[in-house]
Structure 1
Amino acid sequence: MKALVVPLAVALATLGKSCLAFPAHSASNNASVDGLYNLVNRRVPQHAGAFRFALASGNNTGLDTFTLRDVTSQDDSCGAQIDIECNSISACARGLYTYVTEFGGVDIWWTGSRLDQIADSLPSVGTPVTRSSVVRYRYFFNTVTFSYTTAFYAFEDWELLLDWMALRGINLPLAWVGYEYILVEVFQEAGLSDTDIADFLSGPAFQAWNRFGNIQGSWMGELPRQWIDDQFALQKKLVSRMVELGMTPVLPSFAGFVPRTFATLYPNASVVVGGQWNGFPPTYTNDSFLEPFDPLFTTLQKSFIDKQSAAYGNVSHIYTLDQYNENNPYNGSLSYLANISSATLASLKSVDSQAVWLMQGWLFFSAETFWTNERVQAYLEGVPGNDSMIILDLYSEAQPQWQRLSSYFGKQWIWCELHDFGGNQGMEGNFINVTAAPIEALSSPGSTMVGVGLTPEGLEGNELVYDVLLDQAWSSDALDRAAYVTSWVSRRYYTPDLPSAAVDAWQLLSSTVYSNTDPSSQATVKSIFELEPALAGLVNRTGHHPTLVFYDTNTTVVPALKMLIEAGYKSEELASVPEYQYDLVDITRQLLANRFIDIYQSLITVYNSSTSTENDVSRVAEPLQELLFDLDHVLLTNSHFLLPRWIGAAKAWSRGNATISSYLEYNARNQITLWGPTGQINDYASKQWGGLVNGYYARRWEAFVQYLVETKKNGTSYNATTVSDVMLEIGEEWDKQLSDSEQAYLGSTENSWEIVQQIVVKYC
């Protein structure tokens, strides 16, 4: 008899599928709600049979709609309690999310899913709830997110993120993983040798910019074939899961970037050489570009898409293709630009008659001098009609281009929140902008906006401002900040009798730190201790990578942190909530990052004084090193702020091969430090991680202080070049060192609660 015993959740899930298949009437012959039941089984297993999903036809608006209602005993004999009817799988997933959050009070976060904490007795819906999206598309990802955040993700990491995406209503995600496998096959078919191809491909942590045509080759060794194969296998799982969850993956296509030897192999081909990117030596940049009007372009495009379709199935007609990311066209004439775009779409249409070209609109902002209104118009209007192209207005929250470009001259476009450069962690956001601005853009005269999207370079903190934009996609009125934050905090810290101090802390942060209206300091706030030490130029930077702290730390971060601690005193349950623990560390991290500025400025003032001595410099620099040690100590208490998390994830893909493990670790280290063979984009992707702060940044600042002391002692002048040379040497040495195991740098097992309290006493 024991062999017949089946876990209750599994039995209910099986029963639910068999019983609930009958009432569902599909809006598409190919649509299946099985993925939704699988999602419930993963995240709410104790209620596996409690939800009934039904696809209904009849909504021709192009918008997604769902209705929640209670299931009465007369309606169902299989135990279902909540009925979710929708016109798309994505709408059903959003309906499920609406139920578990608004009625169940639980949520799913980047730090993990808490949906299984929903009550044993599910709350009733009462009056049926019907919601519709206000836009057709809810887009997610930036091409560079696949390098800055997900470069080394295992399927388990992706599984959480994909469920997070589906539940929040995302239906148009970028799907770059595994691209190199298809590309290699295309190049091999074209007659290029393995050596030609290997010299073109970049390392795993830098593949985004190889795909963009910014860099080629690798300064750390050849991309392992094992990596290419493993990523392709992962992509098969990811695409399948995306489709199962009602998403349309935006698939790669052939963009035109080819190995140098392509021009030799095809001497009559129209191949031009792109410009140097970000100071990289010519060996690693100046990519060759096969122009789209060359017949070979269409040949390679067909080869690529055919192979991709054979691998993943006919799952999408939307293709990402970016030709000029931070690299201007070979020719600026209007006819040339129109010819390029016209031929590009024609290459896609030659293999997929329903093809839609999706591109990031970053170039129109970053190279605005080249991309005048006339040139943009010529380039976009080279694509016939308005339904075969979607443009991501990538930086809408701070530098929107849709207004300047007349709603992209009739092409479809998506309002996007870029927000996060390089995966930096500074707390920043503009709550009002990401709620009111998309609604205003949607209703503006002549608007061709078709979606909202998240396009962060990296997913590192600031979860509030990402959540609110995705929720705004389901409301025609701008969401109220105070009401939204109260609800958000109650779900984030799901616990009985949540102390009001926790809500008050986030109300304060949302009205200050997350209400930044200064475009010159939007997207991120980088801490100066992550930058190469210098006598000047670190503080109050604005522009692309601002260090300007636009709020008063003493009236924002300090009281908010104290209120969170107070809330923890009042609720033992709160102190054990993972998101509470994360936020304590994150806000403490921001406090110390801001305090570092004051200490640094004191050091510079003393050093520049004509009456100060080397002893004075040493004395005033001591708190600087102490702060970095304290910060590292705090970060080491939470797994989400650990350097080993990043390095360990990279090394795991080696599958025990020591050579590949070393190669992957070097990739991981170099990206977050020098970003290039000799610091070409030094500190761009810097992180405040335990092990990195004390092991790398503190070492640089120690060397800097030592140099200042020596110049004071010897009466010599400060030489910025000497300092940079020392910092480069430290970076090169650190990048090439290897950790003994994934647990390297784990120096603290103390409770973050206790350490944070000590920090507050010391720095507040």
Structure 2
Amino acid sequence: MLIHLFIVWTICIGFVRSTDICGLSSLIHRRLPSIHHSSFTFHLINGEGDAFNVTDTSILGGITVSCTTTSACARGLYTYLTQRAGVDIWWTGSRLDNLPLFLPRVGRTLSGKAIVPYRYYFNQVTFAYTTAFWSFDQWELLLDWLALRGVNLPLAWVGYEHILSEVLREVGLSDDEIYSFLSGPAFLPWNRFGNIQGSWGGRLPARWVEDQFTLQKQIIQRMVELGMTPVLPAFTGFVPPALASHFPDANIAVGSPWVTFPYPTTPVHYIPPSDPLFSTLQKMFISKQKAAFGDISNIYTLDRYNENSPTVTTAELRNISADTFASLRAADPQAIWLMSGWIFSSDRFFWQAENRVQTYLDAIPNDSVIILDFYAEANPQWSVYQNFYGKPWVWCELHDFGGNMGMEGNLQRLTTWPLDALNSSGSSMKGMGLTMEGQEGNEIIYDVVLDQAWSRESLNVSDYGKRWVERRYQNSRLPASVYEAWDILDEVIYNNQNLYTQATIKSILELTPKLDDPMDTNGHHPTFIPYDTNTTIVRSLCRLVQAGVEDRSLLNVPEFNYDLVDISRQLLVNRFVEAWSKLVSTYTSLSTDYNAVAAAAPPLHGIVRDLDTVLATNENFLLANWIRDARSWAGKNETYAAYLEYNARNQITLWGPNGEISDYGSRQWAGLVGDYYLRRWQNFTDYLVETKRDGVKYDSDYVKSRMIIIGQLWDSETFAGPWEVQGKTFEVVQMVLNKYA
């Protein structure tokens, strides 16, 4: 054992590079029991791609991972931990510390090789919907999760505003001109995209910018230690309006407005890449970034047309992409442009005309760009645009809009479509990845994508689900009822064939109350439930509760309790639809009076209260976490803390000062459900009773305005708790099952 420790120690002296393996030693010290800190030896070997072999070190014990890259080493370690030792790491926490006292032998060599060179992670807006207020402790868990699953190309988008501010100051802008342009902490990605500007909750404090820059340095260092290549920001061209007065000869244009946001939050000024000022600021930005982080990556993210309507001709597109790429290469001769394919699908009427995508891409050398096919599990663009005309691209699963928590997925599709794309004629696919807007629930869906990236054969969904749940519940001898519960989920809920509901199913409980049928809601938030609740959710929850009765040790497993709450949550929001339908049919009936409407309202309110109660039993479903994380960045500065809390509240409710995209970032969290959503539904049902009693016509605009006022009042409040879990999960879930099954 001592020799293993000596090997790791000698390797880990000196500067950390992406080809070092000392980061894996640190990961082992963070996650595994101390008795096993010296049980693992890593050897970097020559070979093509990302590949590993895991063997027994000797008959005396120990595990050896031989690998071609640090990322492959991490994946090899993960393969041993999951396939031999039966432990795993989850979004809910690491369970790797449950590694057995005596390590299981490897026996037959475990081998693996990535089928694609890139395994990508993050959507630009995940940095708002999920990680906006994270500390490094939270980042640390996710980065270990990523490394072990073999991710090697994560987006690193924290702290962009620090470098941008330095550049703008250097060219003459004042702090007032800079900070009046920057958005609030919960909305910064859309400021970087050029969708919005300014912060409607108050000006972004300089302290936030500096703290996030410090956090970014920690994140990037850890990514590199774990064998990842961070995708770094580049200068996008979106600038404060004041820049025009400092450079009167520059061609500074005004973009298109974004959705329903009013002036001055939109439109945003930008510098066309053809203007020399664009290249000048690009050089300054990338130079300062390299000085801050080191020369650790040559891959840069830069998207100009994210949900902004291009106002250029087809002929101009080639020059725009050529000039943009030239600015990157002038700043970094090895620069690779990572581009989001979302722009091609979100404004398909523009991009599908006149071969515009091909025109835009042709100006960039094939080996100098990577395109993310953002929504390939539902709306693939690679097949529309002929493998992006030979450019390297990454097959991505989006799945989650705005942090939506509905249970949904298609495991069969995720295990076949990427392989179909990879094996298609003329394929230029070079990666697989995850581009979820918010990282909430449905964890098996995300695991499947990253695991499929290491298998040329489609994963067997049935067998995969069985092994996955055994690791999740830390037991290879589970009651049969557990497997039955997950078979139902995997075969129906996670085999969604309904194209109308691909990627997200949102509950109407979270939407602004209305009398019109909310089950018709489409776009990013389809609300149609494509399965029978009684034969799926109810049956699955019954089996899982039965397992808890049969094996009480399961009640001590965090992930088992999480799943109990998650499935109960889905049951309740589905039942809410039934209660809402009864309310509406009662209200619209000419033969009923206001007393009947009043009697139909309490069942809705009761479901909302019961949902809040079950969510409150688990730490992963608390509004308190979101609020506490936001306020923690302010320390004892109450004014700053109130500003951060307002940002946190507004994102998950009105999403704008006046409900511009209300409910887009809605969540099912205890404290949000039992307070904000309950207020809205009580107000709505009271209004229905009033109109029926007084003979007043229903006014949908009036209802909407009332709901905006409720949102504005709620957003301005201060959270008073409870800050911790309330009640016992298993008892509350049994109550829910007995009441609603």
What TM-score range do you get, normalising by the shorter chain? Answer: over 0.9
Of residues 44, 53, 63, the one that matches 1:55 is 44
Q: Percent identity?
A: 52
Of residues 464, 473, 493, the one that matches 2:473 is 493
- In the other structure, the counterpart of 1:210 is 191
Of residues 731, 734, 738, the one that matches 1:757 is 734
Of residues 340, 348, 359, the one that matches 2:328 is 348
Aligned 8 A contact 2:11 2:21 in 1: no
> Does residue 402 in structure 1 map to residue 382 in structure 2?
yes
Aligned to 1:284, the other structure's residue is in SS state coil
Q: Distance in 1 between matches of 2:382 and 2:726?
A: 50
Alpha-carbon shift at residue 261 of structure 1 (Å): 1.3
- In the other structure, the counterpart of 2:56 is 70
Q: Distance in 1 between matches of 2:194 and 2:106?
A: 51
Alpha-carbon shift at residue 746 of structure 1 (Å): 4.7
Of residues 95, 109, 112, the one that matches 1:114 is 95
Aligned 8 A contact 2:8 2:22 in 1: no
Q: Which amino acid aligns with 2:435?
A: T
Aligned 8 A contact 2:8 2:25 in 1: no
Q: Distance in 2 between matches of 1:728 and 1:755?
A: 33
Counterparts in 2 of 1:399 and 1:465: CA distance versus 1, 3 Å: same
Aligned 8 A contact 2:50 2:67 in 1: yes
Q: Which amino acid aligns with 1:663?
A: Y
Alpha-carbon shift at residue 747 of structure 1 (Å): 8.2
Aligned to 1:422, the other structure's residue is in SS state coil
Q: Any gaps of 5 or more consecutive residues in structure 1? A: 1-11, 74-78
> Does residue 230 in structure 1 map to residue 211 in structure 2?
yes
Alpha-carbon shift at residue 21 of structure 1 (Å): 6.6
Q: Distance in 2 between matches of 1:704 and 1:67?
A: 61
Aligned to 2:64, the other structure's residue is in SS state strand
Range with bigger deviation, 721-730 or 14-23: 14-23
Aligned to 1:696, the other structure's residue is in SS state helix
Q: Which amino acid aligns with 1:635?
A: L
Counterparts in 2 of 1:747 and 1:301: CA distance versus 1, 3 Å: closer
Aligned to 1:350, the other structure's residue is in SS state helix
Alpha-carbon shift at residue 537 of structure 1 (Å): 3.3
Q: Distance in 1 between matches of 2:512 and 2:277?
A: 46
Alpha-carbon shift at residue 735 of structure 1 (Å): 0.1
- In the other structure, the counterpart of 1:32 is 20
> Does residue 129 in structure 1 map to residue 98 in structure 2?
no
Aligned 8 A contact 2:562 2:620 in 1: yes
Aligned 8 A contact 1:326 1:366 in 2: yes
> Does residue 558 in structure 1 map to residue 544 in structure 2?
no
Aligned 8 A contact 1:17 1:34 in 2: no
Alpha-carbon shift at residue 521 of structure 1 (Å): 0.7
Aligned 8 A contact 1:557 1:587 in 2: yes
Q: Distance in 1 between matches of 2:373 and 2:92?
A: 28
Alpha-carbon shift at residue 519 of structure 1 (Å): 2.3
- In the other structure, the counterpart of 2:363 is 382
Aligned to 2:367, the other structure's residue is in SS state coil
> Does residue 41 in structure 1 map to residue 29 in structure 2?
yes
Give deviations 1:71-126, integer Å, cap 9, x for gaps: 115xxxxx861000000000000000000000001100000000110111111111
- In the other structure, the counterpart of 1:568 is 548
Aligned 8 A contact 1:204 1:667 in 2: yes
Q: Any gaps of 5 or more consecutive residues in structure 2? A: none
Give deviations 1:468-524, integer Å, cap 9, x for gaps: 000000000111110000000000000363112112111110110111122221111
- In the other structure, the counterpart of 2:722 is 745
Q: Which amino acid aligns with 2:656?
A: G
Aligned 8 A contact 2:119 2:450 in 1: yes
- In the other structure, the counterpart of 1:4 is none
Aligned ranges 1:355-394 → 2 under 5 Å: 355-372=335-352, 374-383=355-364, 385-394=365-374
Of residues 644, 655, 676, the one that matches 1:696 is 676
Q: Which amino acid aligns with 2:74?
A: A
Q: Which amino acid aligns with 1:543?
A: G
Counterparts in 2 of 1:260 and 1:504: CA distance versus 1, 3 Å: same
Q: Distance in 1 between matches of 2:728 and 2:595?
A: 36
Q: Distance in 2 between matches of 1:655 and 1:225?
A: 15
Alpha-carbon shift at residue 748 of structure 1 (Å): 6.1
- In the other structure, the counterpart of 1:89 is 70
Aligned to 2:97, the other structure's residue is in SS state helix
Q: Distance in 1 between matches of 2:515 and 2:453?
A: 46
- In the other structure, the counterpart of 2:276 is 295
Q: Which amino acid aligns with 2:516?
A: A
Counterparts in 2 of 1:23 and 1:716: CA distance versus 1, 3 Å: closer
Aligned 8 A contact 1:691 1:746 in 2: no
Alpha-carbon shift at residue 30 of structure 1 (Å): 6.6
Aligned 8 A contact 1:423 1:685 in 2: yes
Aligned 8 A contact 2:85 2:103 in 1: yes
Q: Distance in 1 between matches of 2:475 and 2:110?
A: 26
Q: Distance in 1 between matches of 2:213 and 2:205?
A: 13
Q: Distance in 2 between matches of 1:668 and 1:750?
A: 26
Q: Distance in 2 between matches of 1:723 and 1:732?
A: 14
Aligned 8 A contact 2:510 2:666 in 1: yes
RMSD: 1.6
